[in-house]
Structure 1
């Protein structure tokens, strides 16, 4: 993206001038981005500062400090994976499979968006979120505090309280699933501004999923489900991995969101 010096020197504060600055910088959804910036900034000077950061190439969500996810405003921070709209499909599949879940775990939680959305939809639930990254844990704590969620730091299930074994109704595990040699093909915003640990899924992208699948049956309640996001070509293998670990698995796809989710249910 060009620097803000390519934009007329008057500070962009009106909607039209913000849209023009963003469009000049190459932002495809300039109108939508302008609305988010103007809804966040409190003064014209702050608007100009936010536009400058966006024009310099910082992801919009990090510019404004939040991302919308299933109608919630989820706080995000530098170094934390930004929730994607396609992951709303994982939440929808979880609610469809276990509408009465009382215990929810958001594993590899990042910002905690999935857990917060599930708790908001289900009402009174016991919510636990976990991530290996300290920055993600700090961010998630702020996002799930309002629904009484607890956030733990550690490597997958090692982070969780042992008392959860056999009690989890929904285990949302939005694990990294990009094959290691394809990370360089990701959009620049992801490569430059999101943590490598939240992207890299190993040689075929399914290494972390395999670890989750091996342990999930011990943590799920009878009838409980684990849900993972994959790519289109990974979905059949993901189904096989879950089934090899004793779960009944099915894939689901949202063409609208370009989202692929595999659900495994404990018999």
Structure 2
């Protein structure tokens, strides 16, 4: 009897730790870079936050950058087995495999969050084999996304820490899309005069004044890696206690 109970405990524990991991908005929040199988493909990035997503393309020939979606895209998961699609943003699911995108304000959604018609859809997994075939721990954090739009080869995105600086600088020269990007990104305000440190936590000669807005790129204990958009784009580290 004890042996049977031990086996059952092991099986239950295994199933809890290793089960099908369904994609969720929480686990795919962040910054992702498109991985192209072809040479010469223009760099493409997506940033996800809750149920919103922006897509940035850097055009290598002109060294310009632009956003797709106006001003951003809503996205969410949906099981369309019933044939009934969501009518409001709040009806989109936060977990699932089938993803719907609503890209354009006034065409696919309105300012009140009413959904008009989805722009595109795909099947999302964390692995090329499909999540049904791969065992993952319940706390698995994906480093790659596989978005299958065509039923053939999926679009692959890999997680990165931040949008590269050369892309940011190119986007800043596109005033219309830059304003959209700034409204999408989360900013913190400095609470006082704040010195900027190098990566080795050595203070530089640069500093911010009270009320300056910074984008937080990374957190390490009492330190925040930030990006400040002034006349020049500045990256560095500040103390967590220096922001509101």
- Which has more radius of gyration? 2
Tell me the TM-score normalised to structure 1 length: 0.26
Larger proportion of strand: 2
Larger proportion of helix: 1
Tell me the TM-score normalised to structure 2 length: 0.28
